[in-house]
Amino acid sequence: MQGGIQLIPNNPLLNEIEKDHYSAVNGGMFYSKIDSFDTVIKRLIVIEAKINKTNKPCKSIKKNHYF
């Protein structure tokens, strides 16, 4: 798989994850201030783009090596 890693789900799942994030924050699940959902998503967009740009097949791992 080259250039096909997707870290951010499509809607409506993304909306559900956002609701869960804010429920966790408002419910006091974290002891310190955490980043907003938008900030987390923006980071994931950058990471996803980097992975998909540099993702190349690894020659040292044989097909079905782990299975």
Tally of domains in the chain: 1
- Tens digit of pLDDT for each residue in 31-65? 999 999 999 999 999 999 998 887 566 665 555 54
Is the pLDDT confidence value at 66 over 50? no
- Can you give the pTM of this predicted structure? 0.70
Reduced 3-state DSSP string for 13-60:
HHHHHHHHHHHHHHCCCCCCCCCCHHHHHHHHHHHHHHHHHHCCCCCC
CA distance readout (Å), 31 to 24, 25, 34, 39: 11, 9, 9, 18
Specify the pLDDT at position 62.
55
Specify the pLDDT at position 15.
97
Full domain range(s) for residue 51: 1-67
